[in-house]
Chains A and B, each alone.
Chain A
Amino acid sequence: MSNLSDLLEKLGLARKGGVDNAGWGRTLVVAIVSFIYFLPVLMIIFTAFKPQDAALSVPPTLSPTSLFGLIPDQYVFTPTLENFGSVFSRVMTAGGQPEPTGFDRFFFNSIVISSVSVLLALVIGTLASYGFSRYPLKGNDTYLFIILTTRMLPAIVVIIPVILMFRVVGLSGSYLGIIMLYTAFNLAFTIWMMKSFFDELSTDVEDAARIDGSSETKVFFKICLPQVVAGLAATFVFGLILTWNEFLFALLLTGVDTRTVPVAMNQAVSSGGRGTDWTLLASIETLFLIPVFLVTFFLQGHLLRGVTFGTVKR
């Protein structure tokens, strides 16, 4: 038994005492696991670089290089950047000239709609969660639960009245409409997350500031908000990931000018009746992944610390 634990210790899988750094042994193990977990994504990214004929081959091609002869030639494809070009401009009708696909516009739409709605939800939701946390109403839990309920129904249920409503007030196909809707749908999550962050803060400092004569506004902006920056980052990332990839609302409520990438991606790969265009889908998804990947990467330090602060009672 002790031999086993010694072995694990050497591999960096278990570590005795208060030593927090598990060392390179752990890195090796986690790298293998992470790589396997990442494989399906990697295959999508590789597909984006495959020539059309290599996309659907038997046996499947797996790697752009033979890794110095490690991988047999039949599994190797020659990488190309052509697919990324065809995202933005390609031949749409048989024998025709390449036409712009409008994807530059769709990417722009996705970025604007997601970031504005997530930020808006963050502002409104943070104010509300501060209110719920510091000035509890009678039956606070009930209100919070009703807010949570708005996330429980399948989108399809809410969407019909929303479509009708948007048509009536002329919001369908507009930025404002879809942004408002996404804001509302992010609110529930934002309020629940941010409330738990505010609940964790000690109110002593705030009270001290009040006694020193700070206004409520100042207490909120100067004392509370700086302490939950991490939580804001975490909520932003989660909200962004969900909004970025939202499909159903976007499908039914965006017009030609406001179409987001997931909708356009779905149309691009399923149109033409030739079955799925794998390389096109993969290159769109690869490009589409980059912004949210970068945001998550740069905020991930906050992400960990943020959630920590928020939801655990100390």
Chain B
Amino acid sequence: MTVRTSPTPISFFAPSADNWKLAIFVGVIATLLATLALPAAAAFWVVGVAAALIAAAFVVNAYRRRYYGGLLVAPAIAVLFVMNIFPLLWSLGLSFFAYQSNQQSIRFVGLQNYVKVLTNDLAAEANWYALINTAMFVVFTVSAQMIVGFLLAMLFAKQFPLRRYLLILVLTPMMLSVVASGVFFTYYYDPTFGILSYVMNNLTGQQFILMDNKVGAVAGIVFADAWMWSPFVMLLVLAGLVSVPKYLYEAAAIDRVSAWRQFWTITFPYIRGLLMLALLFRTIEAFKLADLVILLTKGGNDTMTISYHLIRIANEQNKTSEGAAISYVMLFMVIVLTNLYLYLANRRSQGT
């Protein structure tokens, strides 16, 4: 039996040194107040103190009850709090203000940014297109990665000579810097110097320009992204394939089970969890797709994505708070989507 001491519930308001729930509550409130009311320099130190307070509460709580979970988690929580959760809360706070990073003025506007995003921006056709494009890229890139990654994994599933060396070749695209691979794809797609156009020109006898229409531009982006990240899916799927016990296939051979049925009844159950994990991480990443679009089309030919739109607003136009509002709308969508995934994944694994 593992030592799973579920702590006796502490009264939420008991001001004891080990009441970590209260500590988190106080910490979050203090952080919010500090970010809203104090200048940044002071706010940061308040947050630091809050994080230290919470960490201390965890440690004391853990020590008093010999409850090691808290001790183990505390450093991670502290780092995440300072580097992630605090900035997130700050930008959440910012989304209620009118603030531009290149100006000093800051003004509370309540939900106005959200209202603007949800009415004006979403009403604006260009933004709708960005949203639709993002959804399209998510569907296309993720499904392309899943299919290609899966097929590659099937190829590598069995032991064969030189497997180790061939596998590393397929993994290499994932290791490239996006800057380099993105820029080089513009070269491959280039109408004058690119290899693709050269081949197509010779085949069709006509000038071939991939990126001059939406279909071509989208295909170009999806191809580059799928090429880079299919190996990620492949690795996860391959791990699942390799983990299927050999004796199950032997039993299937004795039972004369067809290859098709073998796949669905034996192999697939083993890789389902990994496919879901790959799907989850790749969807989150695909939602954030911006770099390849910037490098390949600069948003031209109707390939604007919501993430690129956000970078333009927040960085190029310096509308920081508006950008924050957009990103929280986006975060909301991603959370709904991932929760749906996790719900489905859990239901499947419990159902079987």
Give the interface of A toward B (CB within 8 A): 12, 14-18, 20-24, 26-27, 29-31, 33-35, 37-38, 40-41, 43-44, 47, 56-60, 62, 124-125, 127-128, 130-132, 134-138, 145-162, 164-165, 167-169, 180-181, 183-185, 187-189, 191, 203, 206-207, 210, 216, 241, 244-245, 247, 261-262, 265-266, 269, 276, 278, 281-282, 284-285, 288-289, 292-293, 296-297, 300-301, 303-314
User: Would you mind naming 24 contact pairs between A and B with Cβ atoms under 8 Å apart?
Assistant: A18-B250, A18-B253, A20-B159, A20-B246, A24-B160, A30-B163, A37-B169, A43-B195, A60-B195, A135-B4, A135-B5, A135-B70, A154-B310, A160-B91, A160-B324, A161-B90, A164-B90, A168-B41, A185-B84, A187-B84, A247-B291, A282-B180, A311-B273, A312-B271
Interface positions of B from 135 to 182, Cβ below 8 Å from A: 152, 155-156, 158-164, 166-181
Residues of B within 8 A of A132 (CB): 69, 73
Q: Please give me the residue from chain A that is nearest to B162 by CB atom.
A: A27
Q: Are B80 and A40 touching (Cβ within 8 A)?
A: no
* Cα-based distance from A185 to B84 in the complex (angstroms): 8
7 nearest A-B residue pairs (beta carbon): A135-B69, A131-B72, A184-B83, A128-B76, A307-B239, A161-B90, A157-B327
Give the interface of B toward A (CB within 8 A): 1-6, 40-41, 44, 67-73, 75-77, 79-80, 82-88, 90-91, 94, 101, 152, 155-156, 158-164, 166-181, 183-185, 187-188, 192-195, 198, 227, 235-236, 238-240, 242-243, 246-247, 249-250, 253, 259, 270-271, 273-274, 277, 281, 284, 287-288, 290-291, 307, 310-311, 314-315, 320, 323-324, 327, 330-331, 334-335, 338-339, 342, 349
Q: Are B6 and A138 touching (Cβ within 8 A)?
A: yes
Q: Are B79 and A124 touching (Cβ within 8 A)?
A: yes
* Cα-based distance from A206 to B158 in the complex (angstroms): 34
Chain B interface, >50% SS class: helix
Chain A nearest CB, measured from B3 CB (Å): 7
* Cα-based distance from A193 to B124 in the complex (angstroms): 41
* Cα-based distance from A216 to B187 in the complex (angstroms): 57
Our pick among B69, B170, B183, B235 for the contact of A37 (Cβ within 8 Å) is: B170
Q: Please give me the residue from chain B that is nearest to A123 by CB atom.
A: B75
Q: Please give me the residue from chain B that is nearest to A132 by CB atom.
A: B73
Our pick among B79, B175, B181 for the contact of A187 (Cβ within 8 Å) is: B79
Q: Are B168 and A297 touching (Cβ within 8 A)?
A: yes
Q: Are B86 and A161 touching (Cβ within 8 A)?
A: yes
Q: Are A187 and B76 touching (Cβ within 8 A)?
A: yes
Contacts known (A21-B159, A131-B72, A168-B40); A151 close to B253, Cβ less than 8 A: no
Q: Are B240 and A41 touching (Cβ within 8 A)?
A: no
Residues of B within 8 A of A284 (CB): 180
Q: Are B334 and A152 touching (Cβ within 8 A)?
A: yes
Our pick among B69, B163, B175 for the contact of A244 (Cβ within 8 Å) is: B175
Our pick among B70, B180, B238, B273 for the contact of A131 (Cβ within 8 Å) is: B70
Chain B nearest CB, measured from A313 CB (Å): 7
Our pick among B88, B158, B183 for the contact of A150 (Cβ within 8 Å) is: B88
Residues of B within 8 A of A189 (CB): 281
Q: Are B159 and A22 touching (Cβ within 8 A)?
A: yes
Chain B nearest CB, measured from A287 CB (Å): 11
Our pick among A62, A136, A161, A167 for the contact of B87 (Cβ within 8 Å) is: A161
Q: Are A17 and B253 touching (Cβ within 8 A)?
A: yes
* Cα-based distance from A154 to B195 in the complex (angstroms): 33
Chain A nearest CB, measured from B320 CB (Å): 5
Contacts known (A162-B87, A207-B1, A307-B236); A157 close to B253, Cβ less than 8 A: no
Our pick among B67, B79, B291 for the contact of A184 (Cβ within 8 Å) is: B79
Given contacts A60-B194, A244-B175, A300-B168, 20 further A-B contacts (CB under 8 A): A38-B172, A43-B195, A47-B184, A60-B193, A149-B331, A154-B288, A156-B311, A159-B87, A161-B86, A162-B87, A168-B41, A169-B44, A180-B82, A181-B83, A187-B79, A187-B80, A282-B180, A288-B180, A301-B164, A307-B235
Our pick among B162, B185, B291, B338 for the contact of A31 (Cβ within 8 Å) is: B162
* Cα-based distance from A241 to B194 in the complex (angstroms): 28
